Structure formats: C-alpha cells, structure tokens
Amino acid sequence: MTPAVLRGLPRQKPVFGIHGLKPGEVVPTLELFMAHKHPLDREPVRALWEKLLDGGGQGALLQRVIDVRGKERRVFSAVQAIADPSGHVGYVRGFMVDVTQSLRIESQHAAEEAIGGAYGHKALIEQAKGVVMALRGVDGPAAFQVLATRSQHTNTKLRFVAEELVNAAADGKADELLAGY
C-alpha cells in the first residue's frame, strides 16, 4: 500500500475510540486495522479493501471489531477510495459508526417479544388442551400431542391451532373440528 493511501486510513478520534485507542497512540496501518477485525469478518473486510484499492470506488460493511481490551463491538463502515483517471488509488476516506448498543437494544426487544409471545399464548394453548381433554377423555400430554400433531400436519403455528379450537368450542363446534384432527 502506498504512503498516500496509508494517510487515508482512519485517523479520526471516534475510529480510534472504537478500537480502544487514542489518536497518536499508534500509527494506523491496514495490518493493524485488520488485526482488530473479528476473525470471521476479516475476509469480507479484506475483500472490500482489495476491491476498493484496485481502481477506486465505494463500499459499506457491518462488521465486528475487537478493541484493545478484547471487547467486541459491532460497527458500520463506509469507505470511498479515490482513484486518479488511470485507476491508481491515491486516497481513502470514510467513516465508522459503533452500532453495538443499538443492535443490543434491538436484540433485547426481539427476545422480549418472543418470550412474551410464548407466554402470552400459553393460556390459549392450555384452554385448547382442556377442550381436547374433555372431548377426547385424554390427559394433558396426550391433548398437547393432538394439538402439536395438527400444527405439524397443517404447517400452522400451535397458537393458531389452539385459537381455532377454542373459538370452535365457544361456538359449540369443537366436536366437529376435532373430528378433523
């Protein structure tokens, strides 16, 4: 890599901070930059850089950075390699944004929704089990198996099978519906 391109490597204070460094603490090089990439992200990052350094262009990537303390961070990078008319890259510029906290919050919300959905439908599934137990004269595990089998055979989520049965019971048609199970 030419010295001009090296001058284009990230030097902004936030980029250093993402890596757990302070400006002036190290001389940024592509090798140092790559050493802080998560091992599974190194190849995509290297491929992007090689593509950009071979004639210029721009690219973006979501990747993991391992800072000097060993802490993993999720970052979004956008890079532009500026090439002269002959295709020689003389300068690289871009930015890096730490999205670790945003992704953590988003993941937490998704997990909370999934857990809430599972518990939120538990009462409905228990009601449907009760209907099956009453009409078929079976115990709880056998009633659940009836519902689970119907769910698998129709490729329908268990909560929808349960809801259909509970609604049919409310309309006095649970026997008819269960006959199809």
**Does residue 176 surpass a pLDDT of 50?**
yes
Query: What pLDDT score was predicted for residue 4?
Result: 43
Instruction: Please give the average per-residue pLDDT across 9-19, as a whole number.
Output: 69
Q: Work out the pLDDT band at 12, boundaries 50, 70, 90.
A: low
CA 11 from chain centre, in angstroms, equals 29
**What residues are paired with 93 via a beta bridge?**
80
Tell me the average pLDDT of the chain: 87
* DSSP code per residue over 76-90: EEEEEEEE-TTS-EE
Q: Is the pLDDT of residue 1 over 70?
A: no
Give the pLDDT confidence of 106-156 residue by residue, as tens digits.
888 888 887 776 677 888 999 999 999 999 999 999 999 999 999 999 999
pLDDT at 122: 87
The pLDDT value recorded for residue 133 is 94
Q: State which H helix or E strand residue 57 sits in.
A: strand 57-66
Tell which residue, 145, 176, 120, has the closest CA to residue 164: 176
Model confidence pLDDT, tens digit, residues 15-62: 888 888 888 888 888 888 899 999 999 999 999 999 999 989 999 999
pLDDT of residue 134: 93
pLDDT at site 14: 73
